[in-house]
């Protein structure tokens, strides 16, 4: 349903249609919701890996090509066993890939408990936080699943160490902002992770030295 809504939104937006070029929409029973020469949208249950495999193959995916896998607040909504199966499947299926994850962590403190309660009330519980509560646990999770290299940092560190100072100044000058305590607290409970596989990508620094970007 979400994938089909995205496909409909693209079809209704001339600027997006101009980017995708000519396209067609999939049949209602098909996982393929949108298809153009360079862009496809698939709607699938990530717990059903056999169906995911078949749908990607039918859509023409070349798994041997360098591949970016992006999971923005995805894995934590799966039961830990299903998320583990997906991570391991991706490591086996994509020999030259970068897997980037952005999601929540640190459930133990007051902010973390409030965060858990918030998502429970939305009927979208965060399943993986107790088993993988911090960046080190998340990093081990990917390495043990077959990824060659993995790095992870919370969003405070990412913002201050890995964004160029010029970009930070640009963002901070967009509008006045003085709620830094709340901002830092929120950023301490989210992380970004990048895991890599393959002869090319596994030798690339997942996160460059923070010295490259002065504070």
In a domain, 52, yes or no: no
Both tokens assigned to 177: 């902002």
Domain hosting 95: range is 64-212
Residue 214: predicted pLDDT: 43
Residue 27: predicted pLDDT: 83
Residue 211: predicted pLDDT: 47
In a domain, 183, yes or no: yes
In a domain, 206, yes or no: yes
Residue 25: predicted pLDDT: 86
In a domain, 144, yes or no: yes
In a domain, 114, yes or no: yes
Q: How far apart are CA 26 and CA 4, in angstroms?
A: 9
In a domain, 190, yes or no: yes
- Can you list the alpha helix ranges (DSSP code H) found in the chain? 2-12, 14-20, 49-58, 80-93, 110-121, 135-144, 155-157, 165-172, 180-187
- At 109-133, the pLDDT tens digits run 999 999 999 999 999 999 989 999 9
Which residues are 196's β-sheet partners?
98, 149
Q: How many domains does the chain have?
A: 1
In a domain, 91, yes or no: yes
CATH code, domain with 202: 3.40.50.150
- H or E segment to which residue 141 belongs: helix 135-144
* pTM as predicted: 0.88
Q: Over the chain, what is the mean pLDDT? A: 90
- H or E segment to which residue 34 belongs: strand 32-36
Q: How far apart are CA 38 and CA 64, in angstroms?
A: 17
In a domain, 128, yes or no: yes
Radius of gyration of the chain, Cα coordinates, nearest whole angstrom = 19
- Can you list the alpha helix ranges (DSSP code H) found in 59-102? 80-93
Residue 1: predicted pLDDT: 82
Task: Name the one residue in this structure whose structure tokens are 């937006």.
Answer: 13
Query: What residues in the chain have per-residue pLDDT under 70?
Result: 200-215
């Amino acid at each position: 349903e979400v994938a089909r809504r995205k496909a409909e939104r693209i079809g209704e937006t001339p600027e997006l249609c101009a980017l995708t070029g000519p396209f067609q929409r999939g049949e209602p029973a098909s996982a393929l919701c949108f298809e153009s020469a360079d862009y496809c949208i698939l709607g699938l249950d990530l717990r059903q890996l056999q169906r995911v495999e078949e749908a990607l193959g039918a859509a023409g995916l070349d798994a041997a090509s360098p591949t970016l896998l992006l999971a923005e607040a995805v894995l934590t909504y799966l039961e830990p066993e299903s998320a583990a199966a997906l991570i391991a499947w991706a490591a086996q299926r994509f020999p030259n890939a970068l897997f980037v994850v952005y999601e929540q962590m640190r459930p133990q403190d007051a902010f973390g408990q409030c965060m858990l309660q918030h998502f429970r009330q939305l009927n979208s519980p965060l399943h993986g936080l107790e088993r993988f509560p911090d960046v080190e646990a998340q990093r081990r999770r990917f390495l043990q699943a077959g990824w060659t290299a993995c790095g992870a940092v919370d969003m405070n560190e990412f913002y201050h160490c890995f964004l160029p100072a010029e970009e930070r100044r640009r963002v901070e000058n967009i509008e006045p902002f003085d709620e830094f305590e709340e901002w830092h607290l929120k950023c301490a409970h989210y992380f970004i992770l990048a895991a890599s596989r393959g002869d090319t990508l596994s030798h690339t620094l997942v996160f460059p030295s923070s010295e490259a970007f002065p504070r």
